[in-house]
Structure 1
Amino acid sequence: MLLLRRTKSVFGQWKILKNSHKSVHRAGLVHTWSPLASAFNTKPSKLLSLQFTKGLTGLFGVPELQDPEGFYLLKENAIHEADDLVEECLSNNRTRKMVEVFDELSDSLCRVADLAEFIRMAHPQPRFSHAAEDACIAIGGLVEQLNTHRMLYDSLCKVVQHGDKFPTTDVDDHVAKLFLFDFEQSGIHLNEDLRQQVVILNESILTLGQHFMNGTLQARAIRKEKLPESLRQHFAIEGDNIIVTGLYADATMEITREAAYKIFLHPDPHQESLLTEMIKARHGMATLCGFPSYAHRALNGSLAETPEFVVDFLKLLAREIRPRAQEDFAEMNEMKKAQYIHSRDLALWDVPYFSSQARQNKFLISGSDLAPYFSLGAVMEGLSGLLWSLYNVTLELEEPCSGELWCSDIYKLAVKHGSEGVLGYIYCDFYERHGKAHQDCHFTIRGGKLLPDGSYQLPIVVLHLNLPPPSWSTPCLLTPGMVENLFHEMGHALHSMLARTQYQHVTGTRCSTDFAEVPSILMEFFALDPRVLGTFARHYKTGERLPHERLEKMAASKSVFAASEMQLQTFYSLLDQRLHGQERWKETTSTTQILEEVQNKYYGLPYVKNTAWQLRFGHLVGYGAKYYAYLVSRAVASWIWQKYFLQDPFSRDMGEKYRSEVLSHGGGKPPRAMVGEFLAREVTTDSMVDALMTDLDQKKVRVEAAL
């Protein structure tokens, strides 16, 4: 009863905020916060009432999930539905397109699996997370069975190769081929002996990857007598050992940074063995499935399309970026010599330190000083205003039903179009809390798709961040980096919200990695544009606008040494392609030898002997052969920004063109062709490198103008 009494009073207070504007009066200044801004600047405890305002429902409005046992019912229903749909696929009396049946089968499984996977990770109550995990395991097992269902595969293969008995469109054919490729990744088209080898290799890859990831995070211990006594105080000491937990990139003393770099990145034979065996297993699995290399398998259906395109793009980028990166390194070297009288030349362990120093000292910009101008409410209001300008879309706070949320501090947003109505829902799980995963990401809970009656299955997503919760007197305040990250993740959400695909298999972010990041990186350009920031950057107490000059300096600080950073990403990507590409290395060659070769050829600072940076690079597991995707996505996003939004970041005409020709299709069209049509120019290695070089030149001008 105490909780209910508290809830009623809180609810009343929230209703006041919702139904009236909150004004700030100070020194003659009057500023009125919008209802959206007021709500997001309200303490999470005041939103607790939203769980108790309507009739009982379940998580995300799913009636079965009023309690954990509901996952059992969802799982069983999905299994029965899958059985019926498989039977329909195999029937001679099928009454609709094969791809439609396959997409419904995929949707029935994804609606359970995606929701369960998120609840498994995010729900604070073990009963819910354990029930969700059981559902994940059950649906995962069913998916494995379907992936090896030869009759199901043969039915789809026949349609793809010879055509369906019903007329199909280019989109139908494209999506059917994607389903077929998903099948063949498991080796279903092989004879049973070879298919079993693929299964064994895949299990080995997963195990090796997990062990390798664990090793990337392990601290390094050395006997303390191996370090000068003056250095030991900078590291943790356990008995007779010095414990080095990272690169200590912000250490003021160069010798501390150097020691940490050489100790933490010292070659580890066990990690080397895990990485080598994982890469060999990947290559073996890919060749068994008919691909020349693992990179060819990973890039199938991507924007880049082939590893040859990727490598040509990266090599051209490496050549074009070298002189710009050398300018950055020369400036860092001057900074180092000015700070240390008897310093050596710039080294690898110096780059993060002097990059950070330059951002702070060139523009005298501090994230903590700027944060009062970026309350969460102000940023969300700014986002809503930007979306209205571009797409005629607004973000509107909606009251969730009792039981709909997994935690009390979640905001539910309806994404509403001026003429189309509600496009979908975004659940904002923004605040850090005990036990919450420390990762910022976007989760698809339910994909959008066209339904048989002509209506649209509205997408549901979660934005999962780790922002500092507000105090009793202060709302959540964001640093410029947090603002940029929020815009990035909102870009993923908008891809889901603004897509209007026929099939859920290709809705929103369900597309190739190198295309999925384009909308989110494009949003970063808006987040760094002073014209956009100026619409909402204001002090949470006074409503005072952040002066334009400081906005310019803030944007410029994010552009410092952009060329050397891009060169680093290019080097990483080339190493990833070298490890996973068709060109194999000798049995006696180690991944560290390959690292040395690639670094000395493509990066501006030489390899340091007896170090093995790649053995700490966990992205080789999750982004194997796909690390290049960041640079391709940035190239396309830069190109779109320069062509359509640089002159006017609020253009409704350009926003609607971008939505109708890109976002609305999700992954329903081949990405390179779609991007080429939108930009009215063929997507080539030259055109993408040109876009990146133009972006770097614009950043350089911004930095010089702000000094």
Structure 2
Amino acid sequence: RAVMSVYRPLVCLLRQATAARVWRTVTTWSPVAAAFNARVHRRLDLFHQNADFIKVAHPDPSYREAAERTCINIGTMVERLNTNVDLCKSLKDLLENEEIFSKLDPETRRVAELFMFDFEISGIHLDKKKRKEAVNLNVKLLDLSNQFLMSCHMPNRIEKRALPEHIHQHFTKDGNYIQIGGLNADAPDDLVREVAYKVFLYPNENVMHILEELLSCRDKLARLVGYESYAHRALKGTMAKSPGRLYSSEIDFEMMREMKTKLNPRNPGLITWHVVFYLCRFNIEPSLYSPYFSLGACMEGLNGLFTQLYGVSLLAEQPSVGEVWSEDVRKLAVVHETEGLLGYIYCDFFYRPDKPHQDCHFTIRGGRQLEDGQYQLPIVVLMLNLPHPTQSAPTLLSPGMMENLFHEMGHAMHSMLGRTRYQHVTGTRCVTDFAEVPSILMEYFATDYRVISQFARHYQTGQPLPQSMVARLCESKKVCGAADTQLQVFYAIMDQVYHGKPQNRSTTDIMIDMQKKYYGLPYVTNTVRVFHLNQIMLEFFLPIFFNFQNRETGERYRREMLAHGGGKEPMLMVEGMLQKRPSIEDFVNALVSDLDPDFEIFIMDSEG
């Protein structure tokens, strides 16, 4: 019933005229502002946000399926609206009327320009036949993207007899087959990691076909609407603006080869499935840290950090009957010391079967200025996959889990602290390469000794995490960071090449060629790397920002960056924060500085 309450109004909405209707009521809005807060846009937005969440989060498969159908219908209608000539003409007339446009506030101008940008990249300038073709391609892309993302997480199977019996215990058994759904990167046995890597990444013909079709469809759409490639279309609205040059490094791989030789002298070669394992050997032992990172302690640490930076507290509230979709979901009110209630965060933190394996943030309702002058409070959901508490211990987080929690809370606070006039640009609704800034900044907090020292306490004794362990944890993030950066660069290059000019060869052949050129480890025959294809670039400028844990700095960060959501040009927000326009050299120097650890302690520990 919950899903159908979304689906039925949508069907009615689809039958309405596509022209947006403005509320005819007593309002504090100007006619232009009211147009951007039109009822159709708000209702579509609300339906889509809820359906997008339900299709992945609801425990009942029938609800998920109904929500997925809703998302497809909404996507189809949005693409039709994006090629509606009458709507575009009205907006264009407004933008070209200098007398009216000059009187608009900066955020309203930005939203108007973003709507026009949506029209342009959707092919509004094409003739009727080609506009229809563009709509059909966009609808097809919605379906292909969904198929691809679902297929990426499916495990691979291999007959038991094909593997040595002594390693069967490391994998899931399925009759006469072994099912492998991951890389088993932390397994100490080289053979287990090798088998997991080769089987899990063995090419799936169906997935590869979907990928080829997806890339072809994206290329057709980009060229149809006038772009050189899909990469050019995707990057136009970001801080990067257009495909650029990328780089790579090889130093960390030499360090790993040295460790590999020490730990396994008979087979010193470094292969891809060794990387994560030996990276972990450089780093810390998670089990030693988990007792100090209970979920309660971590949440208290976040609460203290937000209070220091923004004057904000997280207060637990009891949800109403039927308000949450699982009994272990917790509701938090986000309250400012002078402004009062800012919004709500629903914390769906614990593992459930059929729950997405990837930690994520969902906007259920975006913030916006209401016509009576009040503010519509944002509502978001954070989904993690933490272990349940036991009879003898609370939920204990590994350092990686703790870092992921901080990351997702960065997204949530972006939504809570945003105070945009329009829902279209609220919170995390900003360009892709800027949307990750607040969350990755929180990862820096998660590995800063000043922050960790405030909340890391042993769940049994209450003793703080020893300073030596705090220092080691903070420094461990820098170890082999360049290798991880190179992997991300390799993925970014792959993304640009896949979405660049069409090539007369398979995606696998392209990947092999790119790995030889831009990655420090050899390609493994009959494997493929599958990764998300929507984010092409992430800027590495966070270390420039912060001498943090300072209220004045936190308030400036909120005022200059978080408050605007997508309602301001990203580079202008960065300039406002830094008081200068950063250059490529600034980005690179900050990254190099951040990846400059003293390796001796890690090498000595690994030998012990």
Q: TM-score range by the shorter chain?
A: 0.7 to 0.9
Tell me, yes or no, if structure 1 residue 154 matches structure 2 residue 89.
yes
**Is it true that 1:297 corresponds to 2:213 in the alignment?**
no
Match of residue 31 from structure 1 = none
- Higher mean displacement: 517-526 or 438-447: 438-447
Give secondary structure in 1 for the equivalent of 2:324.
Answer: coil
Out of 546, 550, 558, the residue aligned to residue 469 of structure 2 is: 550
Deviations 1:606-652 (A, max 9, x none): 334x34424xx1413xx2xx2323xx1xx132221xxx32xxx3200
- Counterpart of 1:673? 572
Distance in 1, Cα, partners of 2:8 & 2:177: 54
More helix by share: 1
Shift of 1:329: 1.6
Q: Does residue 386 in structure 1 map to residue 305 in structure 2?
A: yes
Counterpart for residue 390 of structure 2: 471
Deviations 1:147-203 (CA, angstroms, capped at 9, x unpaired): 343212221122234457462133222211111222333323311221232233334
User: Which residue of 1 is the match for residue 44 of structure 2?
Assistant: 109
User: Conserved in 2, the CA contact under 8 Å of 1:372 and 1:477?
Assistant: yes
Match of 1:637 in 2: 542
CA contact (8 A) 1:556 1:702 kept: no
Decide which of 483, 487, 492 is 2:406's aligned counterpart: 487
**CA deviation profile, 1:657-703 (whole Å, cap 9, x unmatched):** 10101111111111123212321232332221222111112586996
| Superposition deviation, residue 247 in structure 1 | 4.0
Counterpart residue identity of residue 522, structure 2: P
Q: Distance in 2 between matches of 1:242 and 1:122?
A: 28
Q: CA 1:431–1:179 in structure 2 vs 1: closer, same or farther (change >3 Å)?
A: same
For residue 532 of structure 1, report the CA deviation from its aligned partner. 0.6
Which is further off, 215-224 or 521-530?
215-224
Aligned positions, number: 600
Question: Residue 190 of structure 1 is aligned with which of 116, 122, 126?
Answer: 126
Partner of residue 118, structure 1: 53
What SS does structure 1 have at the residue aligned with 2:596? helix
Alpha-carbon deviation of 1:290?
Answer: 1.5
CA contact (8 A) 1:89 1:155 kept: no
Q: Which has the higher contact order (CA 8 A, sep 6+)?
A: 1
Residue of structure 1 in register with 2:522 after alignment: 606
Counterpart Cα distance in 2 of 1:238 and 1:471: 28
Give percent identity, aligned residues only. Answer: 45
Q: 2:532 aligns with which of 619, 623, 643?
A: 619
Distance in 1 of aligned mates of 2:377 and 2:460: 37
Matches within 5 A, 1:151-230: 151-163=86-98, 165=100, 167-213=103-149, 216-217=152-153
Residue segments in structure 2 that go unaligned for 5+ positions in a row:
none
**155-164 or 259-268, which deviates more:** 259-268
Residues 1:107 and 1:209: Cα distance change in structure 2 (over 3 Å): closer
- Matched residue, 1:342: 266
CA distance in 2, matches of 1:382, 1:551: 15
CA distance in 1, matches of 2:601, 2:416: 33
**Alpha-carbon deviations, 1:1-51, whole Å to 9, x = none?**
xxxxxxxxxxxxxxxxxxxxxxxxxxxxxxxxxxxxxxxxxxxxxxxxxxx
Task: Give the conservation status (yes or no) of the 8 Å contact 2:282–2:602.
Answer: no
Aligned to 1:57: none
TM-score by length of 2: 0.88
Equivalent residues in 2 for 1:302-317, closer than 5 Å = 302-307=238-243, 311-312=244-245, 314-315=246-247
Equivalent runs, 1:653-664 vs 2, <5 Å: 653-664=552-563
- Alignment of 1:411 with 2:330, yes or no, is yes
Equivalent positions of 1:47-446 (< 5 A) are 70-71=5-6, 75=10, 86-88=20-22, 96-98=30-32, 100-105=34-39, 106-124=41-59, 136=71, 139-140=74-75, 142-163=77-98, 165=100, 167-213=103-149, 216-217=152-153, 246-258=182-194, 260-262=196-198, 264-266=200-202, 271-307=207-243, 311-312=244-245, 314-315=246-247, 318=248, 322=249, 325-326=250-251, 328-360=252-284, 365=285, 367-446=286-365
In the alignment, the residues of structure 1 paired with residue 293 and residue 151 of structure 2 have an alpha-carbon distance, to the nearest angstrom, of 38
Q: More deviation in 144-153 or 491-500? A: 144-153
Q: What is the alpha-carbon distance in structure 2 between the residues aligned to residue 338 and residue 371 of structure 1?
A: 28
Greater displacement, 367-376 / 96-105: 96-105
Q: How far apart, in 1, do the equivalents of 2:337 and 2:92 lie?
A: 43
- Please, which moves more after superposition, 664-673 or 397-406? 397-406
Whether the aligned pair in 1 keeps the contact of 2:18 and 2:81 (CA below 8 Å) is no
In the alignment, what sits opposite 2:537? 628
- Superposed CA deviations along residues 455-505 of structure 1, whole A, max 9, x for unmatched, are 211111111222222234432222221111111111001101111111111
The alignment partner of 1:464 has SS state of strand
Q: Is the deviation greater in 672-681 or in 202-211?
A: 202-211
Q: Does 1:689 align with 2:588?
A: yes
Cα separation, partners in 2 of 1:136 and 1:345, compared to 1, 3 Å: closer
Q: Describe the SS at the equivalent of 2:314.
A: strand
1:541 and 2:460 aligned: yes
RMSD of equivalent CA atoms: 3.4
Cα gap change, 1:678/1:97 in structure 2, threshold over 3 Å: closer, same or farther?
farther
Matched residues in 1 for 2:152 and 2:48: separation?
Answer: 29
Q: Label 1:181 to 1:564 Cα distance change in 2 as closer, same or farther (>3 A).
A: same
Question: Which residues of structure 1 form unaligned runs of 5+?
Answer: 1-64
Deviates more, 1:249-258 or 1:480-489: 249-258
Residue range with higher mean Cα deviation, 225-234 or 501-510 = 225-234
Alpha-carbon shift at residue 217 of structure 1 (Å): 4.6
1:529 to 1:568, Cα distance in 2 relative to 1, 3 A: same
Q: What's the CA shift for 1:265?
A: 4.2
In the alignment, does 2:449 pair up with 1:497? no
The answer to which of 472-481 and 654-663 deviates more is 472-481
How far does the alpha carbon of each residue in 1:541-588 deviate from its partner, in whole angstroms, 9 at most, with x for none? 33221222111122233332111111111111111111212x443x2x
Q: In 2, distance between residues paired with 1:343 and 1:422?
A: 60
Contact 1:254/1:350 (<8 A) preserved: yes
Q: Which amino acid aligns with 1:604?
A: G
Q: In the alignment, which residue of structure 2 is the partner of 1:592?
A: 508
Does the CA contact (< 8 Å) of 1:99 and 1:176 recur in 2?
no
Tell me the CA shift for residue 262 of structure 1: 4.5
Letter in structure 2 aligned against 1:638: P
